[in-house]
Structure 1
Amino acid sequence: MINGLNSLVYPQAEAKRIDFNSVIEGLTEETYIGDSLRLRQILLNILSNALKFTPAGGRVQFSIKQLSRVDQETWLKFTVSDTGIGMSKNFQNRLFDAFEQENPNISLKYGGTGLGLAICKNLVNLMGGIINVHSIEGVGSEFSVEVKLGLTEKSYQRKLLDQVKFQNLKTLIIDDDVVTCEHASLIMQDLGMEAEYVTSGPLAVAEVRSGIEAGQPYDIVLVDLKMPDMDGIETTRALRRLVGANTLIIVMTAYEWQSVEEEARRAGVDFFIAKPLFRSELVQLFEKITNSADIGREQVIAKRDAQFTGERILLVEDNDLNLEVATSLLEMRGLAVESAVNGLQALEKFGAAPIGYYDAILMDIRMPVMDGLEATRNIRLFDKADAKTIPIIAMTANAFDEDVEKSKSAGMNAHLAKPIDPQRLFAVLQEFI
């Protein structure tokens, strides 16, 4: 859910020249039990407002923090703060009322109906949570949402094997955001590594030099791509002059890195990883590295970074919000998207299209009129050259083995669990297109 939100918000912030930062404070679980669709709707509304009311050159920060944990339940806090136009004290008291806006000029200048936050408030109440706002006119606003979520079995089972694998590694984290540094350090320590952090490129160079002189060099360096004064590429270039090829350097970034990848590789960057960091993604990356014959220079580009060039997707989804989010994700990677709201409409569109018009179909399973399984069976029976070969990928909240088997039996090529994980989505599309 977090990756999906960031995939939507980062490009909008970059287009508006707003500094957007997404951070996790402390250690959180990677999987919770709750209504991800509604929670995403709440957070996307608040984040969109923060971008809307923050001028170019401003800053928006999105932070996630686990507040407490008892047995199989936990409270999670999401905070969105901005340096936007802010609100008066008087308006804050009626902010969550329907159709409320501070003055008519707000609607004229920024648009909107004044319904979004009223809906958010109602949804948070239905989830048994709390939503608060603190704002200073002309300075900015801070919204916080606290919700109680369940924990899965996986949430409270630590992988001791990871700690055995990585316990002898020494790691340096470089990021101008202290919260990001602390979060990364906690993950490294949780994996059994020794971890230190610094907040700038020059400090990193001094720290690495000190480690070499003391006979305790760093094995892994994680460096943020966008830092003031000395960015991640410049820092990597300076570090390579000290360590040669002996230290693994991984660039952390929340933004698309394809445009700087060639320059970064020349500077000595080995791998890229997305922010905010998640324990499982770091483990996967480290395992990929340790399983590689050539750690220092293997040109591995994760499937999550796939870029497409106008391939056309038929997206079949009856939920408006899911359709909007999925369409935005796909279009940001260069895919052209056409949609259908049920299986029958998908069948009609595929039948009427020229051969090879669609490169793949993303098919929801549970839909009115005709479900995804029946639609897939009918497509496979079409007397059309590409009917049996077009990739059809299931999208469903049911991810049990029997559901996967039903999808395959109907003629589907792959199965994606909802809420859709962007990394998995693009990896599957890259595989089949």
Structure 2
Amino acid sequence: MSAISKIYFSIYRIDLNADIYDEISSGEEFHRLTGLSGKASLKMKELCNTFVTHEYYDRVMLFLDLSTLKERLSRDESVGIEYLAKDGNWHLARFIVKKRDENGQVSHVLYTTRLISDTKHREQNWIVIAEAANKANKAKTDFLSRMAHDIRTPMNAIMGFTSIAQNQLDNTERLKDTLRKIQISGRYLQQIADDVLDISRIESGSLKLDNVDTSITRLFQDTADTAREIQPEKHLQFFCDAHDIAYEHVLGDPLHLQQIYMNLLSNAIKYTPEGGEIHFEIYQELLPHNHQLNLISIIRDTGIGMSPEFMKEMYSKFSRAVDTRVNKVRGSGLGLTIVRELMELMQGTIHVHSTPGEGTCFKLTIPLTYLDPDAEPDKIGQKKAPAGELCKGMHLLVAEDNDLNYEVASELLALRDVTCDRAEDGAICVERFNTAQPFTYNAILMDIQMPVMDGLEATMAIRTLEHPQAKSIPIIAMTANAFTDDVNSCMAAGMNRHMSKPLNIDDLLEVLASYRN
């Protein structure tokens, strides 16, 4: 009793044969009998009435029934039950065998009560955490399963059409068609990777808006043309309408605006069955504030629609509606999450109306600053030369250990009159640059993962050389390492820009042109 009194806040010694209890109280230095005693079965009922909440009452009363206790303790030395007390605390009640008769039957027991609120709360928190983790893991497992399928589908198309192209070299039209389809599949693969990277950048807080002079009409037309290009061959009717554009030029982020529209339009295309309609509308709503307007965009389809249950989760990561009427839908399930996050960055709002079997309508409102039309003509009139023209004659040092990647880069650049020297690893790159005559190279394209010396080490080594260009030559990362930490590592090593693979030759030319003296 002395030992267990340090654990339990109340202890009763019970004689089961006589149905009598003695109450025991505990102190820091000693333990003594209180002198309280009485009929044990009545005391048990009193304790239940005093402490136990309604939802646990019946179970605890069965537990405290002394008439069945001998049988319950016939093979065990203790039995216990947890219950919620009326004061909000959790208790653990336990009967412990104290004495048995010559036949092995229990004659005397201790009834103890222990406060276990902290333990119970920890257990409940663990359960909640475990359930949340299981739910998240299931979502990610489902996402990876879909991703594996969605990657294999265009990869199968790329490999299949490549084989077809090899056997149709004399059929120019067929060859062009297969190459076009290979390019479409490649763009889809890149979209999957870009979606994952965008979520990473948004969650890390590294995604920033680049507000520049943006032509509303050009943005609308480019988006509509791109959406028509990705439309599958199921004869969808595509209606586009830009109206009430009072101010052609605004300060906005055209890249992320187009990303918002394309994510919604691609969903509309995916989920609209054969012969359906897609409407893309854009207009302006002037505000009383100085140089402010709302850009209103409406994307509406006659597709399968969304259920109320799915709409509650539609902005969650990895979620995607599935319908037996459209059973070939592909995608990462990140599109709507990205749309919502970008809209929040732009301080815009989204309103959605959807009816299963009838279609979905997204209405986007984005506040923008318009540019003074009196000041625009001079700015617009200053047309800069195309990047391809500015880059003609440039000579680059390309650090790339992969033969195929170098072949792709050098061939595409050669078509734009840009020549290259190759370095097979970072150490060769440093040596080749250091021994070259000043201004032999206009820029360095640097892979990151290379043998002997990686791109980060090579960049840091170049920046410490005595070469006249060591501090100034543009070093541009060309790498498959495209997460935020990778970009930060490149910048910290001394690189000027980061570009992710696969190589987009037009984007690369724009970057190179910006460094052309």
Q: TM-score range by the shorter chain?
A: 0.3 to 0.5
TM-score (norm 1): 0.40
Q: Determine which structure has more spread, i.e. the larger CA radius of gyration.
A: 2
TM-score (norm 2): 0.34
